Amino acid sequence: MKGIDQRVTEFEHQLRKAGLRMTQQRRLILRVLAEADDHPDAKGIFTRAFVHDPTLSLSTVYRTMKLLETQGAIERHAFEDGVSRYEHADQAHHDHLIDIETGKVIEFSSPEIEELQAKIAAKLGYEIVRHKLELYGRKLGGKTRRRRPGA
């Protein structure tokens, strides 16, 4: 892994610059996010953090996620399950493939697609500010359908 404390400190500077404060709760949530390698929702983040601080409230998680989002420290996703899911933003841009049977989220990136998107937008007279590309699919070959023995 690469410096969780470093990220926290980094974020603390961002906060200071905006007259905001680095609290125990924010530090904890930041740690949980840095340790996550998936895309947890607010409740999930709350659950993981609650273990380390049983006084933490879900409201604070929501408020912190909103803060982190406006500060550009995390990204919010709205996959088909209806709830908002988050991930820290200190990684290269990528899009997601969701396994519709297991819910597993796989990350990928395609410079070609990104380029085509920009080209399409330009042709329509627009510049892309952000975008969302989500593929929902099912595993290939997994359940290999073999011919019925009797046939």
Sign, CA dihedral 103-107-113-117, equals: positive
**CA 34 vs CA 8, 27, 126, 130, 138: distances in Å:** 9, 10, 35, 23, 29
Question: Which secondary-structure segment (H or E) carries 93?
Answer: none
User: Which CB atom, from 16 or from 66, has the smaller least distance to a second copy?
Assistant: 66
> Considering only 64-72, 102-110, 122-130, 139-147, which stretch makes contact with Mn ion by CB under 5 A?
102-110
81 binds Mn ion (CB under 5 A): no
Among 5, 101, 107, 134, binds Mn ion (CB under 5 A): 107
Which of 91, 105, 99 lies closest to 40 in space, CA to CA? 105
| Cα end-to-end span (Å), the chain | 54
> Which residues bind to DNA, rule: CB under 7 A?
12, 15-16, 19-26, 41-43, 53, 55-60, 62-66, 82-84
> Which residues bind to Mn ion, rule: CB under 5 A?
87, 107
> Which residues bind to a second copy, rule: CB under 8 A?
78, 80, 97, 99-100, 106, 108, 110, 112-113, 116-117, 120-122, 124-141
